[in-house]
Structure 1
């Protein structure tokens, strides 16, 4: 990995590209949620079919991870990001055309190209920034993921009232066009679209096979726990709060605190890793995450504290995983493989999170068992994550 920082004149543009690209990795996918009932009524399908519009992309994150790795390795990171941004725009347009079949096809296209972006953006951050700045930019990147979610959650329904749901959900792809234009201006047309595989080590140099690398699988396990815990609690936190006596509006507002905490946590985590170490960062995140299941199990009246602490932890959790993916200092080829494995497995497990917690709540008519499962997921993040961080053993400032 390069330790060089980008030229000062291109740095603002690069930061803008990373932020806008990150918002495109979640925003367009989740833009259908605020207008789900309208979509169902217009397309004359049930809630289960409409739910596929948000479920399919998460499944694509798992299924398409090997494809993402292959594209990044053969075409290079620059082209992979161009494909991501262009593909997200195309998928968004297809999804908004007439009929449920086209909506599902567009959703699958969207999910496939977002998968490439999930893998390649952390690689670009590690390549373009020094080790110290890369930690901070990783936090900015993961915070932008939450920003994208918040933007579409707040803005899609009012926009749909004015222009209709099709134009409303498609309108967010404008950010993708702006990001692609900025990326082409920064890199040039040839670099943005001409395949150029990333550098590989010399044939005589020792190679690390990520498939035989124990820390890679431990990191994958940690991300499984992080992603499962996040998607599960995000889906069911409003219902949990409603069952405690809050109105639907109040429960939604409280759940938003959890998401806002994620943005703050994403930015705070690099401060911890830079001033201390990745190990301390992983411990802080894991302990903070424990506040959600344990807090709601034993002191539910302190819901505000658990939402704030848990929100900070979930934002820091994905950030520290991405920091660890890049912290091994491997070449782009190897890092792409590691990132694909970690994210592919993590999102595959994450897709089951809302279903598992919902089924357990329905069967038991209580939240004890679902929260215990959430606790197991958090421990699955904490234990392997700490082991990997100890394996790295390198303070961020010296990485």
Structure 2
């Protein structure tokens, strides 16, 4: 058996035997046509726009955390809750995506999630008491979108390149949120309008996804078949995919949440810290694109996957014992952590046997993963407060990176699983 069959090529053997042309009509796992070439391209493009919306709500808060603390009178505990709340909400909201898709179809559920996100981004800045509830609502909307993108891509017969582009769109959104939030805050004279402005981007994604709603019939049928039944033989694979996603998410969101404060504590101003956070996302765009493609090649993954964790260990220890806010470290971490996220998304798609399996696998891996990430990020912030420094949290992140390497080394030995 070759590497692509072990790691789950998107095209089924039956499709390849029939010589289906991806530019005209693709078949879903059930054998139903998904979309013509032009309609499929439009649907994939709408998916990219959804992906761009799944990070600005988080990185914009990270870069404005100090300003928001002053504006809304947040104490250290509330500040930590605000930074970690969206990620914790991800874990709690993970089942909602499949449930919503079961009722209205994957594509309409994605559109609804973007409408909800636009509303949440506007509501959370109306008053001090709406900040946390609005952030929680935004987290729910983001999680629905993140959970349903893998089955949506699977139902469209997306190649590894398109899965990579979808993963890369998350990084684009993260970079936009990190780089533009402080300048917009200064332009408006307050952080609140800067946060609310991202609702425009979410509304655009909703309009794009509603525009493609008539075509992806396979996505709707996949949503109607979503069931979470994990056969005993599939449980090790599901557990390992979840572990990989959870560990990379914990590390990624810990950096995006606390990096600006770490840099400011070492002498950087807020704009420079936001710029480095944006660079952290920008430098990772190409690795995020490439990693899902490599996720289908077991031979390369044998060294590439665990190697990401090794480089992260070096980066976090370097940060812990070098007191200067070195852009080289941020660059290195941006490359490998973005690749780790792309790898996690790629494994969800490639290790699901079909679109109906991709939905529950995505919900489990991302739901548990983001819950772990949110709680872990909050714990690292508390560790910083307890030790009055960043060395202990960074050493802890190096240990987590080692666990990530082990999980990747184990998961690349697994075959695709069916969860229905």
- Normalised-by-shorter TM-score class: 0.7 to 0.9
In structure 2, what is the Cα distance between the partners aligned to 1:177 and 1:327? 30
Moved more, 77-86 or 347-356: 347-356
The yes-or-no answer on 1:100 pairing with 2:128 is: yes
Structure 2 residue matching 1:198: 3-state secondary structure: helix
Equivalent in the alignment of 1:171: 197
Equivalent in the alignment of 1:63: 92
Alpha-carbon shift at residue 225 of structure 1 (Å)? 1.5
Question: What are the within-5 Å matches in structure 2 for residues 28-107 of structure 1?
Answer: 28-46=57-75, 48-49=77-78, 52-97=81-126, 99-107=127-135
In structure 2, what is the Cα distance between the partners aligned to 1:306 and 1:118? 28
Structure 2 residue matching 1:188: 3-state secondary structure: coil
Structure 1 residue matching 2:223: 3-state secondary structure: coil
RMSD: 3.6
TM-score, length of structure 1 as denominator length: 0.82
Partner of residue 316 from structure 1, selected from 335, 339, 349: 339
CA contact (8 A) 2:62 2:256 kept: no
The structure that is helix-richer by fraction is: 1
CA contact (8 A) 2:62 2:260 kept: no
Alpha-carbon shift at residue 61 of structure 1 (Å)? 0.4
Equivalent in the alignment of 2:289: 267
Q: Are residues 188 and 63 of structure 1, via their aligned partners in 2, closer, same or farther at CA, if it must alter by over 3 Å?
A: same
Partner of residue 46 from structure 2, selected from 10, 17, 22: 17
Moved more, 232-241 or 281-290: 232-241
Alpha-carbon shift at residue 316 of structure 1 (Å)? 0.9
Partner of residue 170 from structure 2, selected from 121, 133, 145: 145
List runs of 5+ in structure 1 lacking aligned partners. Answer: 395-399
In structure 1, what is the Cα distance between the partners aligned to 2:247 and 2:385? 22
The yes-or-no answer on 1:182 pairing with 2:208 is: yes
Equivalent in the alignment of 1:385: 408
Alpha-carbon shift at residue 63 of structure 1 (Å)? 0.9
Provide Cα deviations, 1:269-289, integer angstroms capped at 9, x if missing partner.
245446755445423423332
List runs of 5+ in structure 2 lacking aligned partners. Answer: 1-9, 13-21, 27-34
In structure 1, what is the Cα distance between the partners aligned to 2:182 and 2:316? 31
Equivalent in the alignment of 1:127: 155
The yes-or-no answer on 1:331 pairing with 2:354 is: yes
In structure 2, what is the Cα distance between the partners aligned to 1:37 and 1:301? 21
In structure 2, what is the Cα distance between the partners aligned to 1:59 and 1:166? 22
Provide Cα deviations, 1:8-48, integer angstroms capped at 9, x if missing partner.
32344234312221121111344334444554555455464
Provide Cα deviations, 1:239-280, integer angstroms capped at 9, x if missing partner.
55567x654466555454433232232023245446755445
Q: Are residues 232 and 335 of structure 1, via their aligned partners in 2, closer, same or farther at CA, if it must alter by over 3 Å?
A: same
Moved more, 17-26 or 7-16: 7-16
Moved more, 39-48 or 351-360: 39-48
Partner of residue 160 from structure 1, selected from 177, 185, 190: 185
In structure 1, what is the Cα distance between the partners aligned to 2:327 and 2:191? 33
The yes-or-no answer on 1:282 pairing with 2:305 is: yes
In structure 2, what is the Cα distance between the partners aligned to 1:242 and 1:271? 37
Equivalent in the alignment of 1:397: none
In structure 1, what is the Cα distance between the partners aligned to 2:60 and 2:276? 20
Moved more, 62-71 or 9-18: 9-18
Structure 2 residue matching 1:259: 3-state secondary structure: helix
CA contact (8 A) 2:246 2:370 kept: yes
In structure 2, what is the Cα distance between the partners aligned to 1:144 and 1:181? 17
CA contact (8 A) 1:228 1:349 kept: yes
Divergent runs of 4+, >6 A: 189-192, 298-302
Provide Cα deviations, 1:93-124, integer angstroms capped at 9, x if missing partner.
22232x22333332222211211111001221
